[in-house]
Structure 1
Amino acid sequence: MVMGLRRPSAPPREPLPGADPAETVAGDTRIGSWALALWVLLLTAAVVLLDVFTGTELPLIPLMVVLPALASVFCTVRQTTGVAVWVTLVVVGSRIALTGAFWDVAFLIGFTALASGLGVVACAARIRHANEVARLRSAAVALQRQILRPLPVVTRQVCAHGLYEPIEEDRFVGGDIYEVVQSPHGTRVIIGDVQGKGLPAIGVGFAALGAFREAAVREPDLTAVADAVEDAVVRHNGFSAETGETERFVTALLLGFDDGDRVQVVNCGHLPPRLLHGGTASAVALDRTSVPLGMAALGGEARTAERVGFPPGADLMVFTDGVTEARDADGAFYPFDERVGRWVGQEPDDLLDALRADLETFTGGVRRDDVAVLVLSRPPAGEKAAGSPGDAGTQQTQGPAT
């Protein structure tokens, strides 16, 4: 999910000289044609010289049939076709120049043409698959832009700064969600993690967020908001089951802010928040943790809310397990509480920048899950969102984070 991100997009790479822009896959520049021609000529010269030195008892030129297969991995279809034609001409020309049995020459010509053709076909299949993956990823990103809003978001009770780092792999996107809603009952916040990845996870996330946005304004009780989101996830799972899709659940944390110094929390199987105050970061003790959304039928108990302290000047950090379960090269988990404790007292943007950089260094740039973090603080009086306390859904965005 890539909306409201603090991660700047990478500039597009320029094509190499001689590369075919029409066959460049998802912005990934292929090897330049002139560089490819130079390498092919050098390899041909080396093989021909070795063939001359080894004599007719050990012909090496027919081994050049592997070049189209290698080119199919790195080159465009046009480049692979050029390599295939060149190899066919060299191998056939070298064999015709020698005296030999007709069927030996005919077999070599047929084998060379077949191997070269398979290389071109393999290259076309690779590029077609890569384009399909890129189109599907783009569609997933477009869908996610309609789900999550840019950060920061400022309401009458809360200023929410955030960090979202999606994994960028062919397995597509993850299912982390967040939302901040101003309602007549105060500010409601949700952060959650949908089980699984890809478009099915996005569908569940969209259902959960849609229900939350509506119920957050309508329901006076935070537990009723959680129940509404539960019902939406269950209904979506019912539709998914009818089409053969896997049913999914959502771990989530729902928070309700008013003008007091306490926060209402409903924990649906999610990680507890961290309170950043007085120079320390401490886990907020939650005694009433219920099952994830979509699994209430298995819990047997109604969800309940509890109130936790949120003193003036404090920040409340909520996050998904992409942070706590990040690993280094040796498989060790990221020491989240220890590292966050170093940055307590910094501005939310600076804290999130430090966390992002530290995660990148710790994991070596290799992450296995999305990273979603919200830092919630009381906004200064002059930055509170405009509108009367009864204005439902009133929000003010400061523009997308950078």
Structure 2
Amino acid sequence: MPRKQSKSSARPLKAIEPTSDAEVTIGVASVTLLVMVLGALSASPVWLLGLLVFLPAAASALCTVRQTKLVSAWTALVVIVTMLVRHGDGRPWLDRILMMLLTLALGAASVYACHRRIRREHEVLRLRSTAAAMQRQILRPLPMITDDVLVDGVYEPVQEDRLVGGDIYDVVVSPWGTRILIGDVQGKGLPAVGAAFAVIGTFRATAHREPTLTALADALDASVVQHNAYAAQTGEDERFVTALIVNIDADEEVQVINCGHIPPQLLRDATVTTPALASGVPLGLAALAAEPATVDWFAFPPGATLLLTTDGLTETRAADGTFYPLAERLTKRVHLSPTDLPRALYDDARAYAGGEDQHDDVAVLSVRRSPYR
């Protein structure tokens, strides 16, 4: 297994910061003072009911239960005292009593609503914490260091609240070198995530066992076929997965099988080249191919960097509809370290799209050959 995982690609999950007591006090005092001034100017207590009733409702949305109770109690106290003191304004006592009861009812409803809100927030936080723990097991934190390479990168699902998407990656140390997988499941949503889990699980189980990349690719293809068989039984759509399967060992060459995926970019001596690879069919479609998957080789000397990405980056569009020119933008950033390069490309793609929300999952990995090998 990789020797080091120093930081996580998952976003940190934190509970929502509650409103401080000082902020609540200032807010309540300000609104109360405003109501008193308006009440004095208008000589009518209607302002009290019209404005003060918003205080408990606002507190239920922003404050803790204790703070909401205090705000509701203060609101009820101000309204009740005002209704009892202003007995000479000609308003019937029945109206006064109804106003006081309404204030108490709104306060109680606000406290109950605050209870419900906080309980939902805690449930959501627990669910997201569980999802984050799952992501750390499914998509291991980056960077990852082996005897052969340093792998770093960026992983950004299309939906911010979904920690795992249809793009996948993994790094496994095998007896035959460091094996790296990057892939993209057809489609989006939970069905795509299911196919992603199937491929990652098979990769981890077989990368240690299969001595050749072709046998590993066959195992991954079989996992997608099996997943599709189960999906068909439940009425879900079948999926295929584009993938790059990479093997890096002590030799100054890298072995790659391209299963219909975007080819890698090789950064070497301040130049960027795209290795010529035979593009096979995606995982899950091998039965339709005329020939089996083939292994390509190309030079990967010490100090070189291999950039692996999914089409979430390359298919980012500008306002005029043009795709993100990865090779051109990459040439301007060859001076960046492998650790900084993936994030720089991702941020540049977002700026290229004019800051619009991304429309697909994005995974960008930089694979740096150890200079000491």
- Superposition TM-score tier, normalisation by shorter sequence: 0.7 to 0.9
Structure 2 runs not aligned, ≥5 long: none
Distance 1:350 1:266 in 2: 26
CA distance 1:37–1:325, shift in 2 (3 Å)? farther
Q: Please, what is the CA RMSD of the aligned residues? A: 3.8
TM-score by length of 2: 0.78
The 5-angstrom pairing of residues 2-401 of structure 1 reads: 5=7, 26-56=14-44, 59-63=46-50, 64-99=52-87, 100-147=91-138, 148=140, 151-155=143-147, 158-166=148-156, 169-194=160-185, 195-196=187-188, 204-236=195-227, 238-239=229-230, 249-257=240-248, 262-291=253-282, 293-294=283-284, 299=288, 303-312=292-301, 314-324=304-314, 335-344=325-334, 346-352=336-342, 354-355=344-345, 371-380=362-371, 382-383=372-373
The alpha-carbon distance between structure 1 residues 66 and 376, as it changes in their structure 2 partners (threshold 3 A), is same
Q: Secondary structure at the match of 1:217?
A: coil
* Distance in 2, Cα, partners of 1:71 & 1:335: 50
Q: Secondary structure at the match of 2:56?
A: helix
Question: Contact 1:174–1:369 (CA<8 Å) still a contact in 2?
Answer: no
Instruction: Give me the whole-angstrom Cα distance separating, in 2, the residues matched to 1:134 and 1:330.
Output: 39
Contact 1:5–1:164 (CA under 8 A) maintained in structure 2: no
Following TM superposition, by how much is the alpha carbon of 1:182 offset from its aligned partner in structure 2, in angstroms?
3.6
Call closer, same or farther: CA 1:258–1:122 in 2, change over 3 Å.
same
Deviations 1:258-283 (A, max 9, x none): 56565433333432211213423234
Q: Sequence identity, in percent? A: 41
Query: Relative to 1, partners in 2 of residues 1:334 and 1:262: Cα closer, same or farther, differing over 3 Å?
Result: same
Q: Secondary structure at the match of 1:134?
A: helix
Cα distance change on mapping 1:248 and 1:139 into 2, 3 Å: farther
Question: Residue 219 of structure 1: SS of its match in structure 2?
Answer: coil
Counterpart of 1:256, as a letter, is N
Q: Distance in 1 between matches of 2:108 and 2:252?
A: 72
Please tell me the residue identity of whatever aligns with 1:228.
A
Alpha-carbon distance in 1 for matches of 2:278, 2:364: 22
Q: Deviations over 1:29-71 (max 9, x none)?
A: 2221122112201211111111111123x82111121222222
Is the CA contact 2:154–2:342 (under 8 Å) kept in the aligned structure 1? no
CA distance, structure 1, for counterparts of residue 33 and residue 320 of structure 2 = 45
Shift of 1:308: 4.8
Measure, in 2, the Cα distance between the counterparts of 1:82 and 1:316.
Answer: 60
Q: Distance in 2 between matches of 1:220 and 1:118?
A: 66
The amino acid of 1:62's aligned partner reads: L
**Could you say if the C-alpha distance between residues 303 and 187 of structure 1 is closer, same or farther in structure 2, counting changes exceeding 3 Å?**
farther
Give me the whole-angstrom Cα distance separating, in 2, the residues matched to 1:80 and 1:371: 42
In 2, Cα distance between the equivalents of 1:130 and 1:268? 42
Deviations 1:304-336 (A, max 9, x none): 224153353532210234444567899986553
* Residue 240 of structure 1: how far off its partner (Å): 5.9
Classify 1:170/1:374 alpha carbon distance in 2 versus 1 (closer, same or farther; 3 Å): closer
- CA contact 2:181–2:245 (8 Å) conserved in 1: yes
8 Å contact kept, 2:132–2:163: no
Q: Which range is displaced more, 169-178 or 350-359?
A: 350-359
- Report how far residue 286 of structure 1 moved: 3.9
Taking structure 1 as reference, are residues 346 and 35 closer, same or farther at Cα in structure 2, changes over 3 Å only? closer
Give the superposition deviation at 1:227: 2.5
* Cα distance in 2, alignment partners of residues 318 and 174 from structure 1: 17
After superposition, the Cα gap between the structure-2 partners of 1:332 and 1:112, relative to the gap in structure 1 and judged at 3 Å, is farther
Provide closer, same or farther for how the CA distance between residues 96 and 302 of structure 1 changes in structure 2, counting only shifts above 3 A: farther
Instruction: Label 1:120 to 1:234 Cα distance change in 2 as closer, same or farther (>3 A).
Output: farther
Question: Counterpart of 2:53 in 1: which secondary structure?
Answer: helix
Cα shift at 1:197: 5.4
CA distance in 1, matches of 2:249, 2:46: 84
- Aligned partner of residue 218 in structure 1, secondary structure: coil
Q: Kindly tell me the number of residue pairs found equivalent between the two proteins.
A: 360
